A = this chain, B = another copy of it.
């Protein structure tokens, strides 16, 4: 390896400055230069906004790029660092994982300086950008294969105070859904690393499916709401209208809320995101590819739920996720951080 990861400019300069985060070359890939925008207005919150961790989730890079246009005028204090694209090779390939090494950047944190390209990206971000922020907005989406409402997401956090802070921050986006997602495949995730350092980390899931202009306006509005809540910009919070509805709800989802395909075949969705379903309601139908010799299989809601994600009609493998359900966050619970959540919700 020829050099260490580095920034090509001094992010501490006042006002707006720009440059690159250089991820060194390795045996598998030449050096990468990730554009970085820094907006330094002195004392105040220190925020890092990232997009393009997964290459088929372009909502984040576009919203991040829009912020660069208006934030220099709007920001009144503090420091915001924006990296619209964390993973350029994946974005160029419209691929969730990095094509060069096949790795998922959001499972590689804190990365390795002598690893493959995905590990080197994670290492550069962890060492050079993460220490400069107390709050991180990582802009994801559910990608082209899912329908999903605009949502701000956190996993449960053992530290009760940090959990309460995180849920408050997540709710400040005023997205249709704030989701506490109990999820086990977390080793190497960016949020786990940031939270272990006491930082507030929000994973924005900016919808799913095609990335259209109307949806982008909603996503941008949500991020702007969060910037207002942080005190970085002034303005009036707006409740974005999503599919003719204005509402925000805080939900939780458990591993048992992931519905999986009982067989390989074509999944036909039979409900829509944010639908309320009762026990036994139809979620979708799995049609085996040989429609003559095998019966279609109905997939039904195991308990009363709200549909927070539904797979697009497509061929799926057996045990592939086809729907994600959720329920309003329960106040009385002994899971980690739940008492902090209760405090958070009690503020009304």
Contacts and interface: CB of A to CB of B under 8 A. Distances in A.
Interface of A: 18-20, 33, 35, 55-56, 58-59, 61-62, 65, 68, 84-85, 88, 91-94, 144-147, 208-214, 216, 244, 266, 268-272, 287, 289-292, 296, 310, 312-315
A210 B85 contact: no
A292 B211 CA distance: 23
In the complex, which of the residues A33, A91, A144 has the most CB atoms of chain B within 10 Å of its own CB atom?
A: A144
Given A91-B315, A314-B58, A145 B147 contact: no
B84 A210 contact: no
21 contacts: A35-B290, A35-B292, A56-B314, A58-B313, A58-B314, A62-B287, A65-B296, A91-B315, A92-B289, A92-B315, A93-B315, A94-B315, A144-B144, A144-B209, A147-B210, A209-B210, A212-B272, A212-B310, A213-B269, A213-B271, A244-B244
Nearest to A33: B290
Contacts of A290: 33, 35
Given A271-B213, A272-B214, A289-B91, A312 B65 contact: no
Contacts of A211: 269, 312-314
A244 to B, nearest CB: 7
Given A20-B292, A94-B315, A145-B144, A62 B216 contact: no
Contact of A59 (B145, B213, B287, B313): B313
Contacts of A268: 62, 65, 216
B58 A212 contact: no
A121 to B, nearest CB: 15
* Closest 7 pairs (CB-CB, A-B): A211-B313, A209-B210, A210-B312, A58-B313, A144-B144, A209-B209, A211-B312
B213 A272 contact: yes
A19 B292 contact: yes
Contacts of A292: 18-20, 35
Contacts of A92: 289, 315
Given A65-B291, A209-B210, 19 more contacts: A19-B292, A20-B292, A35-B290, A58-B266, A61-B266, A62-B268, A84-B291, A85-B266, A92-B289, A94-B314, A94-B315, A209-B312, A210-B210, A210-B313, A211-B313, A212-B272, A213-B310, A214-B272, A216-B269
Contact of A291 (B35, B59, B271): B35
A39 B56 CA distance: 42
A101 to B, nearest CB: 19
A315 B92 CA distance: 6
A270 B212 CA distance: 8
Contacts of A287: 61-62, 65
A212 B65 contact: no
A290 to B, nearest CB: 6
A250 to B, nearest CB: 24
